[in-house]
Amino acid sequence: MTAAVRLGANQYGKAEVRIVKVTRTTPVHEIEDLNVTSQLRGDFTATHLTGDNALVVATDTQKNTIYGLAREHGIGSPEDFLLLLGRHFTGSFDWVTGGRWAADAYSWERIAVGGAPHDHAFVRSGQDTRTAVLDWAEGPVMTSGLTDLVVLKSTGSEFHGFPRDRFTTLKEASDRILATAVTASWRYATTELDYNALYTAIRQILLETFATTHSLALQQTLYAMGAAVLEAHDAVAEISMSMPNKHHFLVDLAPFDLDNPGEIFFAADRPYGLIEATVERAV
Amino acid sequence: MTAAVRLGANQYGKAEVRIVKVTRTTPVHEIEDLNVTSQLRGDFTATHLTGDNALVVATDTQKNTIYGLAREHGIGSPEDFLLLLGRHFTGSFDWVTGGRWAADAYSWERIAVGGAPHDHAFVRSGQDTRTAVLDWAEGPVMTSGLTDLVVLKSTGSEFHGFPRDRFTTLKEASDRILATAVTASWRYATTELDYNALYTAIRQILLETFATTHSLALQQTLYAMGAAVLEAHDAVAEISMSMPNKHHFLVDLAPFDLDNPGEIFFAADRPYGLIEATVERAV
Amino acid sequence: MTAAVRLGANQYGKAEVRIVKVTRTTPVHEIEDLNVTSQLRGDFTATHLTGDNALVVATDTQKNTIYGLAREHGIGSPEDFLLLLGRHFTGSFDWVTGGRWAADAYSWERIAVGGAPHDHAFVRSGQDTRTAVLDWAEGPVMTSGLTDLVVLKSTGSEFHGFPRDRFTTLKEASDRILATAVTASWRYATTELDYNALYTAIRQILLETFATTHSLALQQTLYAMGAAVLEAHDAVAEISMSMPNKHHFLVDLAPFDLDNPGEIFFAADRPYGLIEATVERAV
Amino acid sequence: MTAAVRLGANQYGKAEVRIVKVTRTTPVHEIEDLNVTSQLRGDFTATHLTGDNALVVATDTQKNTIYGLAREHGIGSPEDFLLLLGRHFTGSFDWVTGGRWAADAYSWERIAVGGAPHDHAFVRSGQDTRTAVLDWAEGPVMTSGLTDLVVLKSTGSEFHGFPRDRFTTLKEASDRILATAVTASWRYATTELDYNALYTAIRQILLETFATTHSLALQQTLYAMGAAVLEAHDAVAEISMSMPNKHHFLVDLAPFDLDNPGEIFFAADRPYGLIEATVERAV
């Protein structure tokens, strides 16, 4: 005889609503390009147990709301737009007690024509994507970040001193390529912030710290990057990073009577190292 | 003046180690095809703060261990293999207190030649991937699952009775296509189990329940699927599901003087509904 | 002073129109699931040179036509549907002299409930996709095929006797895993054919020949597969195949005091061998 | 009785050899990052028909050659490196009469630290990938290009005057977003060229012409882009472009009592327009 079952944690909504907003108040247009997900939490037991949808704000309605509120209030920053959504849904429906709103933001730069930035023609720039997640349980908690920030150092990286057991064959390295694709997400301590300025500043700190840290381990580089963000920005409560070690193996050219003094590398796909950690404030 | 920072939660290892094991004890070969990730947790503060790697079991060593232990002990099931890895690492290094081990398993079936299954020739089957994650904090906790199980019902699905606000334009539907790609993960209450038999049985329950549930909402279908698993298998403590509502929109053919009695649909990519819930045992 | 420029070959249309058609004449539904591309060729110089669109059948119109004709005439097979499209566009617009129409077809099987196939619930099956391309220059030429048919033999494959130069380090192999993802496309000599029956038969020949050919080179396996198709089906004029050699490397376990008698393999991603050839009829 | 079959066109080799080359002659490092494919053509009938590999330069050998020649001769440009490979293989093996060599090149820029470019730390830049293909039949023919150059104009695009038939529902547009992901490949008339300089110049012409062309049809924009390249560079014999029309649909906000004067768009995935043409020199 099995025990009774019940509904646990749940959320639902519309995912990956692609919205492009053009600001054309002057001939110099601005564009904002987001991929928005809206999911609601609250009293949704009835639809799960009986299919009674009386409290189910349709996912289509959530999509429409994204477009409508963008027109009424603008976007400004991914984070501000998520707060707008969160406040709308928790404020409009008594039974919606929280939710999860997320946005990816894609970056564009103006096409240069004869050296001058064009008024209304743009080219996608960068490999990385800006991310934002508003998690609303007791109240709004904003976590911003980025993903796919691909960086590489051609020197200034070592790895040695690790323990050796029966399965250890790795040689120690005093000079290797260090390459990774940074995924980082930092939780803000408050919600009234200049999110765009913070994003630009934090991305730059991550890049500069990666570049200037002489690395004895990818863990050390990761920690230095996170610590630098926390030290520079009080508004950041903690930062989590996931960094694959994208291995670049020195090719053995000796069979061809060639040396290889750190010049020719094979960039491997899988497997890869995977280093993940949170850097937080000491209490 | 900013507060001091410190290392929070962290784990590291080797991700996506692709291993194919052939069992050739008889001319009728068996193959096992896994994508394995190993990550360790424990006392790894030194490498983060100073780059001292004295306690860092190299990710390359973790990869070698996967291959070596597969040869020594076999695989058997993804879950049993993850337990083998978890016990090895927590048992071999005092400072490794836990970790996360995960595997995706790909399914193959024998090629039929003249109607008979071939001894050693195989074709990849199915769209879905079997998954397993061993999370080891206090002790081993096994969560099995699947992803990308793409299913569709051409009738037997309704959606109506939802609230209407300013942003609601969706029409009520009394007969629609219901399609989704099921991601499910179920946590087992214990670890000494016949994982392969359980996987086969649970996958079949998910399929049959999807097929036979007359759906008033995707939430209702999801809950029914999870409840059916819990009711059939005491070994399952809870099950979480994430199911996109892969919209199939009836095409308006009226401008071409054609009707469309539930026959011609446009399969949309984005946005999509996203329904997520856990079904658990009542205490 | 540069020479004058002019428009060369060109075609345009709507790509990846996702259409799902449900046949519900009885309670036992059938579904057809296609991804259709329509591109027109003909007298389209004006739009390129001056933006005069008087002859430009809008890509949106091409999309609508796909949906409308599917309702009026059904699909039947991907190939028959492409012929329907090709005849419509070349027959409806004097200046459309030809084009390219293509379809990918996705396979579904009925969910088994208590061992019996369900009337209207389906699960996506197989890794491979059926393809069809109608190229219309002088007249309609149909090429059918498949892609991503992933197959593996755990023995029955050798590779030796190849020349050795300064850059050759590969060891000869008398027993290796042979794995590939078959992409094949076969051109039919005529267009009035039972395409669904031919597709099923040819796919099976490809599978069986892969399985039963003792391979001395992937080239040999490829040729045998193509020749078998031509020998069995007069309707096929030629067949082209592209087959990556998905390397499975035997892992060296000797450093761990373990042997590895063809049991433990590393499945590599890149680089991979790439074998491409056409098998045709001798004139 | 079916006719005899024979081997038709064929080529084989190693695909996607990932090579990263670091030039470290000074502390200011340079990196080159390529994905190289090498395929040989010639007298390879024996391996296809009998599995006799006496003439089969192993794909593993081709991979090794890529690494070895990069060390001996450097890379310089993707095109120069492909010519090095083509000359090596056709010159080293009598029976290799030609082949296909291709490279994708990924762009990196130096990380700015305090505003100054770092000596040896880099970040991946841009969405687009540079491509090069050396096709060697009678002799070497070089085709260079790019892919995934994603561009958007927020105004300066119209589409009207197209014919209307039974299936036409599209409204005429006097001001729309025009967005595409350019794939272009231009064939050079000769092979002794400054490929890096040409690539930079041609990419810029494509961007500027997209930006400054007032568009009445994507066809017109495509033609203008191609013609501009041919007019500026005698070394280019012809250019082919494939440009999806990445539709941005104006969202209908009227049901929410909101206007939408070209501000809020839904960026669609599929289907998409697909415009393809070659611009060539008049003879």
Structure-token match 């850097």, residue found: A279
> How does pLDDT run across D95-121, given as a tens digit for each residue?
999 999 999 999 999 999 999 999 999
Q: What is the pLDDT of residue A3?
A: 62
A77 Cβ neighbours under 8 A, 6+ residues apart: A195, A196, A199
Looking at chain D, which subunits does it touch, using at least 3 CB pairs closer than 8 Å as the criterion? Answer: A, B, C
Preferred mutation among D251, D256, D258, D266 to probe B, highest tally of B CBs within 10 A? D256
- 3-class state of residue D213 by DSSP: coil
Given this model, what pLDDT does residue B69 score? 98
Q: What is the pLDDT of residue B1?
A: 42
Last residue of a domain, one of A84, A114, A136: A136
Alpha-carbon span A46 to A195, nearest angstrom = 38
> What distance in Å separates residue D125's CA from the closest CA in chain C?
23
Both tokens of residue B251? 């095409």
> Does the annotation count B65 as an active-site position?
no
Q: Which of C63, C60, C49 has its CA nearest to residue C18?
A: C63
Out of C29, C47, C59, C129, which one is annotated catalytic? C59
The CA-CA-CA angle for residues A208, A210, A215, to 5°, reads: 140
User: Which of A251, A270, A272 to mutate against chain C (most C CBs within 10 Å)?
Assistant: A270
Taking Cα atoms as reference points, which of A155, A8, D271 lies closest to residue C59?
A: D271
Q: Given pLDDT bands bounded at 50, 70 and 90, which one contains residue B3?
A: low
Question: What is the identity of the amino acid at B249?
Answer: F
Nearest to D101 by CA among D189, D11, D188, D193: D11
pTM of the model: 0.98
Q: Report whether pLDDT(A2) > 80.
A: no
**Residue that is last in its domain, among B138, B160, B187:** B138
Number of domains in chain C: 2
Per-residue pLDDT band at D3 (split at 50, 70, 90): low
The rounded distance, in Å, linking the Cα atoms of D90 and A270 is 33
Q: CB-CB: which of A33, A64, A121 is closest to D151?
A: A121
Q: Are residues A122 and A256 in the same domain?
A: no
Show the domain range for D150: 145-283
B31-47 pLDDT per residue, tens:
999 999 999 999 999 99
Within 8 A by CB and 6+ apart from B213, the residues are B156, B220, B221, B224, B225
Under 8 Å between Cβ of A163 and B44: no
Please list, in sequence order, all residues whose beta carbon lies within 8 angstroms of the beta carbon of residue A7, skipping any fewer than 6 positions away. A45, A48, A49, B223, B277, B278, B279, B280
Q: What are the C-alpha distances in Å from C129 to residues A169, C83, C106, D172? A: 42, 20, 6, 37
CB A184 within 8 A of CB A209: no
Q: Which of B189, D144, B163 is nearest to A55 (CA)?
A: B163
Contact between B17 and B37 under an 8 Å Cβ cutoff? The reply is yes
For chain B, list the contacting chains (3+ Cβ pairs, <8 Å).
A, C, D
Strands C116-124, C248-250: pairing is unpaired
Domain assignment of residue C3, yes or no: no
Tell me if A167 and C270 make a contact (CB, 8 A cut-off).
no
Q: What angle do CA A78, A82, A84 make, to 5 degrees?
A: 120
Coil, helix or strand at residue B33: strand
Q: In which region does residue A198 sit, left (phi positive, over 0), alpha (psi from -120 to 50) or beta (all else)?
A: alpha
Show which residues of D are catalytic. 14, 59, 247
- Residues of C with Cβ-Cβ distance to B66 under 8 angstroms: none
CA distance C115 to C122: 14
Contacts of C240 (CB under 8 A, 6+ apart): C184, C185, C186, C276, C277, C278, C279, D8
Q: Is residue D85 part of a domain?
A: yes
Q: What is the dihedral of CA D118, D122, D128, D131, to 10 degrees?
A: 100
CA-atom Rg of chain D in angstroms: 24
* Average pLDDT of the segment spanning B265-282: 98
Residue in C182, C208, C253, C263 to test binding to B, most B beta-carbons within 10 Å: C263
Q: Check C48 against D8: CB less than 8 A apart.
A: no
Of residues C66, B268, C35, the one with CA closest to residue D266: B268
- Please give the Cα distance from A194 to C223 (Å, whole number): 64
Strands D108-113 and D96-105: unpaired
Catalytic site residue C247? yes
Note whether A111 contacts D266, CB cutoff 8 Å: no
Q: Do D99 and D169 share a domain, yes or no?
A: no
Instruction: Give yes or no: residues B197 and B242 share one domain.
Output: yes
For residues B55 and A196, give the distance between their C-alpha atoms in angstroms, rounded to a whole number: 40
- Whether the CB-CB separation of A3 and B282 falls below 8 Å is answered with yes
Same domain, residue pair D176 and D96? no
Q: Given B55, B216, B272, which is nearest A51 (Cβ)?
A: B216
CB C54 to CB D163 under 8 A?
yes
Residues of A in contact with D125 (CB under 8 A): 125-127
pLDDT band at B283 (very low <50, low <70, confident <90, very high): confident
Does B6 contact A281 at a Cβ distance shorter than 8 Å?
yes
User: CB–CB of A268 and D18 under 8 A?
Assistant: yes
For residue D268, give the nearest of C17, B254, C20 by alpha carbon.
C17
C257 contacts in chain A (CB < 8 Å): 166
Cα–Cα distance, B246 to B186 (Å, whole number): 23
Q: Are strands A140-153 and D116-124 parallel, antiparallel or unpaired?
A: antiparallel
Q: Which residues of chain B have a CB within 8 Å of the CB of D270? A: 269
Instruction: Find chains touching chain C: ≥3 CB pairs under 8 Å.
Output: A, B, D
Task: Answer whether D238's CB lies under 8 Å from D223's CB.
Answer: no
Q: What is the CATH number of the domain that holds A202?
A: 3.10.270.10
pLDDT (mean) for A135-152: 98
Residues B182-194 have a mean pLDDT of 98
pLDDT of residue B126: 87
Q: How many CB pairs under 8 A join C and D?
A: 264
* pLDDT, position C3: 62
Domain annotation covers residue D252: yes
B114 with B149, same domain: the answer is: no
* Residue of A70, A121, A177 with shortest CB distance to D264: A70
The pair of structure tokens assigned to B226 is 């999870």
**Residue in A112, A124, A263 closest to D21 by CB:** A263
Minimal C-alpha gap between C50 and chain B (Å): 31
pLDDT in tens, A183-225: 999 999 999 999 999 999 999 999 999 999 999 999 999 999 9
- Whether the CB-CB separation of A191 and A231 falls below 8 Å is answered with no
A31-37: average pLDDT: 98
Contacts of B269 in chain D (CB under 8 A): 269-270
| Cis peptide preceding D271, ω within 30 of 0 | yes
Of the residues C14, C88, C153, C246, which is catalytic? C14
Ordered DSSP codes for A240-281: EEEEEE--EEEP--GGGT---SS-EEEE--SSEEEEEEEEEE
Position B213 scores a pLDDT of 98
Q: State how far the Cα of B64 lies from the Cα of B61, in Å rounded to an integer.
A: 5
Does A263 have pLDDT greater than 90? yes
Same structural domain, D84 and D149 = no
User: Quick check: B265 and C21 CB within 8 A?
Assistant: yes
Please name every residue paired with D280 in a beta bridge, in sequence order, or none if there are none: C6, D238
Q: What does the pLDDT read at residue D1?
A: 42
Helix-strand-coil split of chain D, %, nearest 5:
25, 45, 30
The answer to whether B11 and B41 are in contact (CB under 8 A) is yes
Give the pLDDT mean for D19-31. Answer: 98
Residue C126 lies in a domain: yes
Contact between chains at B167 and D269 (C-beta distance less than 8 A) = no
Report chain A residues whose CB lies below 8 A from the CB of C270.
269
Same-domain check for residues C120 and C205: no
The subunits that touch chain A, with at least 3 C-beta pairs less than 8 Å apart, are B, C, D
- Residues B130, B225, single domain; the answer is no
- Kindly state whether residue C1 falls inside one of the protein's structural domains: no
pLDDT band, very low/low/confident/very high, at C264 (cuts 50, 70, 90): very high
Beta bridge partners of C265: B20, C250
Nearest to A160 among B16, B48, B53 (CB): B53
The partner residue sitting opposite B271, judged by closest CB among A17, A49, A54, is A17
DSSP B275: E
H/E/C letters for each residue in B238-260?
EEEEEEEECCEEECCCHHHCCCC
User: Taking CB atoms and an 8 Å cutoff, what residues of chain B touch D248?
Assistant: none
State which of C69, C103, C138 marks the end of a domain. C138
Q: pLDDT of D199-247, one tens digit each?
A: 999 999 999 999 999 999 999 999 999 999 999 999 999 999 999 999 9
Please check whether residue A204 is in contact with residue A241, taking contact to mean a CB–CB distance below 8 angstroms: no
Pairwise CB contact (< 8 Å): B61 & A170: yes
Task: Please give the full DSSP string across A127-149, using - where no structure is assigned.
Answer: S-EEEEEEEESSSEEEEEEEEEE
B35 with B111, same domain: the answer is yes
Closest CA to B235 of B209, B197, B206: B197
| A56 has a pLDDT exceeding 80 | yes
- Report if residue A48 sits inside a domain: yes
Q: Do residues C156 and C215 lie in contact, with contact meaning Cβ atoms separated by under 8 Å?
A: yes
Q: What average pLDDT does chain C have?
A: 97
Is B176 a member of any domain?
Answer: yes
CA angle A61, A67, A71 (to 5 degrees): 135
Q: Kindly state whether residues C162 and C274 are assigned to the same domain.
A: yes
- Looking at the partner chain, which of A11, A55, A64 has a beta carbon nearest the beta carbon of B276? A11
Does A144 lie in the same domain as A273? Answer: yes
Provide residues of D within 8 Å CB-CB of chain B: 166-167, 169, 255-257, 269-270
CB-based contact C166 A269, cutoff 8 Å? no
Residue pointed to by tokens 């960026």: D267
Is residue D59 within 8 Å of C245, Cβ to Cβ? yes
Residue contact D14–C275, C-beta within 8 A: no
- Residues in B touching A272 (Cβ below 8 Å): 14-16
Residue A14: HSE in the Cβ half-sphere, 13 Å Cα cutoff: 22
| pLDDT tens track for D246-269 | 999 999 999 999 999 999 999 999
- Average pLDDT in the C235-262 region? 98
Is the residue at A274 inside a domain?
A: yes
B161–A53 C-beta distance less than 8 A: yes
Residues of B in Cβ contact (< 8 Å) with A68: 166-167
Residues in D touching C222 (Cβ below 8 Å): 48
Nearest CA in chain C to D51: C216
Does pLDDT of C1 surpass 60? no
From the list B215, B227, B270, which residue is nearest A5 (CB)?
Answer: B227
Q: Name every chain C residue with its beta carbon within 8 A of the beta carbon of D223.
A: 7, 48-49
Contact yes or no for C18 and D222 at CB 8 A: no
User: Which residue in B47, B59, B97, B129 is the catalytic one?
Assistant: B59
Q: Do B154 and C113 touch (CB under 8 A)?
A: no
Residues A124 and A24 in one domain: yes
Query: Is the bond into A271 cis (omega within 30 degrees of 0)?
Result: yes
Query: Which member of A21, A47, A59, A147 is catalytic?
Result: A59
Best of C166, C253, C272 to mutate (most A CBs within 10 Å, chain A): C166
**Backbone φ/ψ region at C161: left (φ over 0), alpha (ψ -120 to 50), beta:** left
